[in-house]
Structure 1
Amino acid sequence: MNKYVNDFLLMFQFLTRIPVNISLKCEKENFKRGAIFLPLVGFIVGGIQWLIYMLFFKVTSLGIAAIFAVLSGILVTGALHVDGLGDTCDGFYAFKGKDRIIEIMKDSRIGTFACIAIVMDIMLKVNSLAYSSQYSSALIIIAVPVISKFSIVFLSFVGKPAKSTGSGNLFVGNMSGIVVSISAFIAAAIIYIMLGLKVTAAMFITAVIITLLVNKYSESKINGLTGDLLGANNEIVEIFVMLVYIALYKI
């Protein structure tokens, strides 16, 4: 199998719950090379959400369509990023020190802060999606996961691992400038074709700023990043990108 096909399928298998019943090479180098395809994985996930949205919009209301679009994204990704957001909030707001924070983040049980974060995440996404698609293009549904997946690559590049082991280390500290550049080019090309230059620039500026802030905050809490932080950043970037997109059409 071509190494790039292998690495794309590896990313698709790792980040979604859509079956890929093929034996794939999954060394650290495969994850590094495969990271360039994360925006394409986001494009597929967003495409599924867009199809679900359009289907329900034709037979129900805009609000219900937005709910099912957000729900489909969670189901397709196996709630991977939402779980990361919840675990991060449980750990970060326990105020117990680095080791205890990481221990709490690894706990499969859900705490108060995780519950609040997940509810707010879903509410903000549903309302932002319903509003933005009403007043502009529903293609924002596809663009959002494209830019958020790029932010995972960028965060992995600028950050450092908080632990010596963990699934997050397949990405964190394993990226190169070339990988980030190619990933950025793919994401920018997709968003530009769908929504134009102004939206593309606004999304990238927002994603980069939020990602740098998340990285800085993570360093202050646990001296680095974990896989949960990658998922949390994905969710936070998606929310802020949609809010900025709405602001562009309100100004």
Structure 2
Amino acid sequence: MSKFGENIFMLIVGIVAIFSLLREIKNNKRFLGILTFLTRIPIKVNVGFDEDFHKGLIYFPSVGFILGVLYFIITYISVKVFGYYIGTVIFLISQCILTGGLHLDGVGDTFDGIYSYRDKDRILEIMKDSRLGTNALLAILFLVLLKLGFVFSIISKNVYYPLVLAPVFGRLAIVFACYKNKSPRENGMGNVFINKVTESQIASVIASTLGITLFTLLLNLIFGFVDILHGSVIGYNTLFVIILFILVRIYTEYISNIIGGITGDILGCICELSELLYLIFIYMGVYKW
């Protein structure tokens, strides 16, 4: 594929994402509220109070798509300037900057608390503690190292679509986790969404995720980022939605048996682990075996 084609692909995806964002900002303050809640993208608009803010869960995959497009553009340019390894490092840095490290904090708190093997009340107390424990440090370190390795291995094959789709599936996992679960605390950031998801919202986020996936993969095929022999990636990504739902339900059941529900930290942890799982799934299933 020529550099001209690659640049056109990057430009088209970027334009589509920007126009999508502008349209949502103009017509949907709830989307904007979700965007500012999940990211640190600087948008100065007063969205006001929304008592039905939890209904904005249906926009989680779309926010993930916007993040993914930004990750792609930043990483693609970085690779062209600095090479694959430094480009991968910059990708990881951009994730922290654009999300404010929100979900990484959840990983740390989850591993500090859940894997301290204390009683329920002590675990919840540990998870609220802002200090970083050994479990948190190791969990975040291993997560970052694994992301570094798999992203480097994937983009070095001139495959970039997982950078766009990983955050989409990560936010989809949050919605799956909120479905028919409860919070062990009376107050908490995650309480806005936990146990507020309906079956119709589940169907909506799955449909939007599959739509985003199809759109991204078709553009990749058109502009040559994905080998035509790997056209099965569409079915493979669809299969991941089912696998993700099952694994998220198993993990939230496991957590609920320990502390009686899930928290905002658990949601952040699930998002990060789902992104990593997606990268592993794509690498092993499509580009390794």
Where on the TM-score scale, by shorter chain, does this alignment land: which range?
Answer: over 0.9
TM-score in terms of structure 2 length: 0.82
Count of residues paired in the alignment: 250
What per-residue deviation string (whole Å, max 9, x for no partner) do you get for residues 73-99 of structure 1? 111000000000100000011122111
Task: Choose the corresponding residue for 2:123, options 101, 104, 129.
Answer: 101
In the other structure, the counterpart of 2:222 is none
Any residues of structure 2 matched to 1:71-90 within 5 Å, and which?
71-90=93-112
- Identity within the alignment, %: 31
How far residue 20 of structure 1 moved from its aligned partner, in angstroms, is 2.4
| Match status 1:114 vs 2:151 | no
| Match status 1:211 vs 2:280 | no
| Match status 1:250 vs 2:285 | no
How far residue 9 of structure 1 moved from its aligned partner, in angstroms, is 0.3
Equivalent residues of 1:4, 1:34 under 8 A apart: no
CA–CA distance in structure 2, aligned partners of residues 143 and 162 of structure 1: 31
Task: Choose the corresponding residue for 2:79, options 51, 57, 60.
Answer: 57
In the other structure, the counterpart of 2:46 is 23
How far residue 4 of structure 1 moved from its aligned partner, in angstroms, is 6.5
| Match status 1:12 vs 2:35 | yes
What per-residue deviation string (whole Å, max 9, x for no partner) do you get for residues 168-217 of structure 1? 01010111111121111111111122235223223213321321122012
Stretch of structure 1 that moved more, 144-153 or 211-220? 211-220
Any residues of structure 2 matched to 1:83-232 within 5 Å, and which?
83-135=105-157, 137-195=159-217, 196-232=233-269
Structure 2: which amino acid aligns with 1:214? Y
CA–CA distance in structure 1, aligned partners of residues 176 and 95 of structure 2: 21
Equivalent residues of 2:178, 2:193 under 8 A apart: yes
SS at match of 2:194: coil
Task: Choose the corresponding residue for 1:238, options 267, 270, 275.
Answer: 275
Uncovered stretches (5+) of structure 1, i.e. residues with no partner? none
Q: How has the CA–CA distance of structure 1 residues 18 and 113 changed in structure 2, closer, same or farther, with 3 Å as cutoff?
A: same
CA–CA distance in structure 1, aligned partners of residues 156 and 211 of structure 2: 24
Equivalent residues of 2:25, 2:31 under 8 A apart: no
How far residue 23 of structure 1 moved from its aligned partner, in angstroms, is 1.8
What per-residue deviation string (whole Å, max 9, x for no partner) do you get for residues 109-131 of structure 1? 10000000111111111111111
Uncovered stretches (5+) of structure 2, i.e. residues with no partner? 1-23, 218-232
Stretch of structure 1 that moved more, 197-206 or 91-100? 197-206
RMSD (Å) for aligned C-alpha atoms: 1.8
